[in-house]
Structure 1
Amino acid sequence: MAQSLTYYLTLLVLKLKGIKRNFSKDPIDFEKIRKEDIHRPKGKFLRRNNAIDFRVSNTRITEIKRTKTANSLLIFIHGGAFISGPAKHHWDTVQEIAKQTNHIIWMCDYPKAPEHKISDLSKNIDSIYHKALEKYPARQISLLGDSVGGTLIAALTQRLIEKSTELPSKIILVSPVMDATMSNPEIENLENKDPMLSKIGVLSAKKMCAENGDLKNTMLSPLHGSFDKFPKTILFLAERDITFPDQLLAAHKLIEVKADIEVIQGGNMPHIWPFLPVMKEAKTALSQIISRLNQSS
């Protein structure tokens, strides 16, 4: 299928912004990348929609509740290679979801590497979910995450299953990074095609988050854990993405254990394409995410 004009415009913008160049360095310049972070956007949207901030563990949560009748919760775990975020595209995505669903949304601004390691990040994510269970039945909770946000959600789900904790209604993973080792040989075939990520920078960021150099730790690399008993799982996979080969392996593992899984594969799409602004294909994919959120479990 031919791509839209806005697709090519988006690729040009990504190139001009130097995103791939930033992810082609070892060590990765996390301070430079963090300059794009927006911890609480200015403007009318949050003020008009009863947004409040509170903390769970070391995470700042911005809660958005547009209607008094909202009784379902979406926990949004943003990406950013464990070293940065949330960024503008995450807030724009939250805004669209808030407008088009009747969900309460928790935007979770969790601690980052290298100041914090993966066990600390994971404890924060665990605390957020348990706080949600104090307020909402598990059947009314959904989780959405892109890139390492997807990593954190997949790893959380594995821990919940291990501890026989009630699972969320559904999880939606957008270009999740499933293996921090980046050792899949198929990655090399995508290195030059990926307009956003490079193996060098991604590995550097993962090493900053790893403890004792253990990149196979399932908190960082859920691909090395079990996918048995996963809840409804919706995967958005991008073909022009170095993390795509490991996402395919995760999808196959979910299929093998007969999980309730839906795979939406973005032909020729870059990493986290549903969240990219302007692009027609992104708007279509985000509409699909919103549609899944609006479906009852």
Structure 2
Amino acid sequence: MFDPTDLYTLADDAPSLSDPVLLYHFDGFVDAGGAGRLALGHLLAELEHQVVATFDVDRLIDYRSRRPIMTFDTDRWVECESHELAVHATTDATGTPFLIMSGPEPDREWELFTQAVGVMVDYFGVSKLVTMHGIPMAVPHTRPLGVTMHASRPELINAQTSSFGRVQVPGSAAALLELRLGEQGHDALGYAVHVPHYLSQAEYPTAAVTALEAVTRGTGLVFPMDSLHDAARRTLEEIEEQIQASSELTTAISGLEQQYDAFAAGSERENLIAEPLPMPTGDELAAQFEAFLADREEDR
């Protein structure tokens, strides 16, 4: 019988917290526009924080599938950028403490990992676990991004009506964590931001803004958002620059807008998850945007 506490190490100076929220996101699963990664990365960049726990990545991560970057200098190896899956303690803009868990999605021992997180949740007295990520949808960037909410109890999301029925999809460590800890009686919920499918492979800060705004509504945590709003504005300006330079893109976006507005105006809004569409908004459109944004990133 394996002991789940062997999977992590608590910091000696880990603080005592009062009912903190735990925000988490793991790299490796679907995250259109980098919604979850950018959101938590923004918080770690903006807020003072300390590592309170680290997981044993040698046990959890397959290094052959996610090889760490190593630096070779002249005639010797000088550095290895090791993987890190850690929990950070920080406070929001009002001084309310909360936790952030981030890093690569575990490749193995998922059930033991969820047990380990459960023990840690009890140790810190976590009141609520919240995850976030982006999913590609057939929606235009010129409309407000939607959010699909899910939770271990319907009361956590005000019994929101979902456009999804009962479906089976490939699992993720984040989803299993919500399921297993919910089964244990913990409050766990998540936000899936609807990201324009033609921007799903690019960094789309607007998706991170939407994710954090959803977290604020669901938890009461308040975050510094100015720099993220600035990044979102710059990205939208670059997208508009690309659209104005291409009549094909202008037509494609207009078609998506008409489709979106028609669904929104209907009595029942159908599922807009990205599927092949009878309009030029598929791989060609995505490739044009991705190439454009990549060029802009290189020019900075």
- Same fold judged by TM-score > 0.5? no
Structure with the greater alpha carbon radius of gyration: 2
Query: Could you say which structure has the greater relative contact order, defined with CA pairs below 8 angstroms and 6 or more residues apart?
Result: 2
